[in-house]
Structure 1
């Protein structure tokens, strides 16, 4: 480790960094559901605070007498003033069995209170052991004229035995600009924390392998069953596809490149896709879903081919609402669509 620096002085509670690393409404929520909620001391949490950090990250000293966070590390990147990324680790013991649904439902509460954009919540793949669960949520926030990407990762092992429950929270914040350059390092920090937690609760390699296998099988079944979209998501897709029969009818995308024989074939397929979206169980192939997502993206975003700036004039969705719906749909279809099917003439380019 390189030399330490004082977290309290450089990143106190009044700064953007300090506020983000110090606040977690999910922990407050969980604390009300269990008994004996107590931060782990540094002496108890060596298994967590001794986890490795990537080269170039250094430890920042936490003020004496402060129970959380246990450890803060940070890094800089060339060409970016100040800190580019920080990680804070905290751990707690308690008595009780928090419900996984509670974690998932409340995971984004803090980010919503920050008025974050692009919020994403993902349950983590964890061993099927009693009381074990994990959730990760991230999004972009703006504080003090600074754009930050923030991720909260929460690992829980509940227990009805007194003081045997344990929770670990990792908060990572990165400047929106340097975030992509730090991707591999942030991933390494996250993997180190997850591995330390699993080792601490006694999860074996077989437990982890079984969880991964179960998750893969679940994804396979979900892919076979097709995506599950809300009524509002389907309404947005229908509105987006309707553009090709309306305002964008005079300048459709390169139809032949998408595998259609001509305008009549394209228009007939748009009618078919919209009809299927209106059914309880759409009969749509991977190619169909891929075309639906691509054409919806184009109709909303492109001013050359789609509705573009006029989308909110010809649909019930504002640009803000449309973006939120489109992002949620992209996440819902991520295991369904296949970009290699969209342009059959250039299919070899994707292989």
Structure 2
């Protein structure tokens, strides 16, 4: 009886689909081979839910040696490739760029027979094993696969000290203007986040300074911002202190998360950016850091700039409920504290400069 019930359950399409969606690609391939009844659903699930590598798709169009030799690919073969493979790809990984000759052939096929290359693509992940500074590789590759249906982009860092991140972003957004979910890992500089004008969720891992903070604020539809493990948080950029940066307004931000493990720096960073930010729609904020944070000071700034805030999570300790609005202007010590802090920081800076001068003189 139990075996019969299990068999009937596996014959139910909804249950079968739920099981298949939890399997790895190799398991789905095996199911497609061993059971004719399961094959259509297994193959369809593989294409819809699995991340597919670019090279594994294009090999069905022509072997790489044939592509390099510019073999004649007929319209019939192109259409078969589109129907059997390309149109089924919804998530795509690019880890190795095509050779220039191969990419040129694919570009000519798209121009001759119509594109885009992956018309149903929803999510693109660029995770290079080679440096991103090869401008002749990665920027054209991004434009080659991007399409209007693309809604999610993840760009990891290459292995070089310089990245052509801006070129990649411009190539993607030029073909996919409606991207709403972006994750970027960069250790070098602030990319042109403003190009993602429709983004609602943004995760930044790596380099982050006041320029990046203001660039994020320029995104009119941004609802969720996550700053991950920033190892290179900067307090100075072109001699501008965080405490003296212009006040920025996040028009739509409802959720802010900051994760940083560099003890002693992130507390200043968090206080500085919150002090100089107006987030009128912010509802939840999470601060995950190693150093002690002056929560009383943060609450004062949040009450002033985020009247809808009702949840604070500090190192996984939740505080829920409306944030008490403090009469910030009436705080007797605020201006005094700020000026003294500025004076202290300037004194510290001058002392450091004196030390540097002394050292250089001694050399």
- The reply to whether TM is greater than 0.5 is no
TM bin (shorter chain): under 0.3
TM-score normalised per structure 2:
0.23
What TM-score comes out, normalization by structure 1 length?
0.24
Structure ranking higher on relative contact order (CA contacts 8 Å, 6+ apart)? 1
